[in-house]
């Protein structure tokens, strides 16, 4: 005799709902439920509404692996940062890009896969992973030199959007950048309008578009001989570059640093050398990161639309993944924010 103490009913009730469960509640076939879940156009709005209500009522969760087999989509997007981990979490621009991409994806069904790569071996592994069908598309930021990863992924048929204008010969992929040339030009013109005549710059890396373009803007507007030192967009690099400039041109009266972190480092070096900001040397940065407002004195800087850049990059990529066309590259405007350092 079989014992029926209710445990079998409890076990059955605990089982997760299936396609068949949803179909029974909605009064449609299993195939119709599958078509709704996979966004097939061959379902009327009324039937889709009924099935979605049944899904909500039963608490059914689609099997992502099975859905991937049908749609050829993973619902995952890679954000590739070509910098070491320490730079990612210490650089306000990069951390803002990560936040804005994540926020833009939050209301979609897509997952963010954050990937950091610096060495050639890491890049090879990354490319194999991306081309292996694990993600639907890739956002690439902080490219260096004539890096061809974007072009290789594009040639392999993967949707790609790049943060910043690529330096090397590019394939047909879109990018979103800031007006780095115009922003730097405005910074130097501001210093010149304040009566500064020996204006130096701490330029960023020349294997990155932001470093190249911000130096170009400085050279376009500097009123006298160019005074240039190079650093890596970081605070320590800015301080070292400032010491070099003071040694080479002790009569300089202003400096445009191509990032706020470098500007803060430069102000620390100026203070250590007994130079007052802005009385002796005026300083302007670039980014308008939080550190610009915290600096002492508060830093005049060029504001770029970092959050909008990340959001727009994400929207363009999702459009390409969805078959909505190639999209158009965009250059976002910059604004000079005047504070006490100049």
Same fold yes or no, 7-71 and 76-177+307-334: no
Give tens-digit pLDDT for 83-121: 877 777 788 899 999 999 999 998 888 889 998 887 777
In angstroms, the Cα distances linking 224 to 199, 215, 257 are 8, 15, 17
Q: How many angstroms separate the CA atoms of 300 and 283, rounded?
A: 7
CATH class of 180-304: alpha beta
Mean per-residue pLDDT for 298-321? 95
Domain 7-71 adopts which CATH fold? 434 Repressor (Amino-terminal Domain) (1.10.260)
Q: What is the pTM of this model?
A: 0.77
Give tens-digit pLDDT for 184-217: 999 999 999 999 999 999 999 999 999 999 999 9
More confident residue, 35 or 254: 254
Closest CA to 323 of 34, 13, 119, 41: 41
Q: How many angstroms separate the CA atoms of 194 and 279, rounded?
A: 11
Per-residue pLDDT, 13:
46
Domains of the chain: which residue ranges? 7-71, 76-177+307-334, 180-304
More confident residue, 190 or 33: 190
Q: If DSSP codes are grouped into helix, strand and coil, which group holds residue 189?
A: helix
Q: Find tokens 């910059």 and name the residue.
A: 334
Q: If DSSP codes are grouped into helix, strand and coil, which group holds residue 100?
A: helix
Check if the beta carbon of residue 207 is closer than 8 Å to that of residue 259.
no
Mean per-residue pLDDT for 147-161? 80
pLDDT at 70 over 60: no
In angstroms, the Cα distances linking 150 to 295, 328, 333 are 37, 16, 24
Highest mean pLDDT: which of 34-38, 139-143, 190-194? 190-194
pLDDT grade for 156, boundaries at 50, 70 and 90: confident
pLDDT at 14 over 60: no
What is the phi/psi pair of residue 23, to 5°? -60, -40
Q: If DSSP codes are grouped into helix, strand and coil, which group holds residue 264?
A: helix
Give tens-digit pLDDT for 222-278: 999 999 999 999 999 999 999 999 999 999 999 999 999 999 999 999 999 999 999
Share of the chain above pLDDT 90, in %: 54
76-177+307-334 CATH pick, 3.40.120.10, 2.30.30.830, 3.40.640.10, 3.40.50.2300: 3.40.50.2300
User: Half-sphere exposure of 32 toward its Cβ, with a 13 Å CA cutoff?
Assistant: 21
């Amino acid at each position: 005799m079989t014992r029926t103490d209710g445990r079998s009913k409890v076990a059955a009730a605990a089982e997760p709902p299936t396609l068949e469960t949803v179909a029974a509640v909605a009064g449609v076939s299993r195939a119709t439920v599958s078509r709704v879940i996979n966004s097939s156009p061959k379902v009327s709005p009324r039937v889709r509404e009924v099935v979605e209500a049944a899904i909500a009522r039963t608490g059914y969760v689609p099997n992502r692996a099975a859905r991937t087999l049908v749609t050829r989509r993973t619902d995952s997007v890679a954000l590739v940062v070509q910098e070491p981990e320490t730079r990612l979490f210490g650089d306000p621009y990069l951390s803002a890009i990560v936040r804005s991409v994540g926020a833009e994806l939050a209301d979609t069904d897509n997952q963010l896969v954050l990937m950091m790569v610096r060495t050639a071996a890491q890049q090879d592994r990354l490319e194999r992973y991306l081309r292996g069908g694990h993600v639907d598309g890739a956002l690439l930021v902080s490219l260096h030199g004539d890096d061809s990863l974007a072009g290789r992924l594009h040639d392999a048929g993967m949707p790609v959007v790049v943060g910043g204008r690529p330096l090397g010969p590019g394939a047909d992929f879109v990018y979103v950048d800031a007006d780095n040339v115009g922003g730097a030009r405005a910074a130097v013109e501001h210093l010149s309008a304040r009566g500064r005549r020996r204006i130096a710059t701490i330029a960023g890396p020349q294997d990155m578009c932001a470093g190249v373009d911000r130096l170009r803007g400085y050279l376009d507007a500097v009123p006298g001989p160019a005074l240039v030192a190079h650093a890596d967009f970081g605070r320590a690099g800015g301080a070292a570059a400032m010491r070099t400039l003071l040694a080479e041109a002790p009569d300089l009266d202003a400096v445009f640093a191509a990032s706020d972190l470098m500007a803060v480092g430069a102000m620390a070096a100026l203070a250590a050398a007994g130079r007052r900001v802005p009385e002796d040397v005026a300083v302007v940065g670039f980014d308008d990161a939080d550190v610009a407002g915290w600096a002492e004195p508060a830093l005049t800087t060029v504001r770029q639309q970092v959050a909008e850049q990340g959001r727009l990059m994400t929207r363009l990529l999702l459009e390409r993944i969805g078959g909505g066309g190639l999209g158009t590259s965009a250059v976002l405007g910059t604004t000079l924010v005047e504070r006490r350092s100049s």
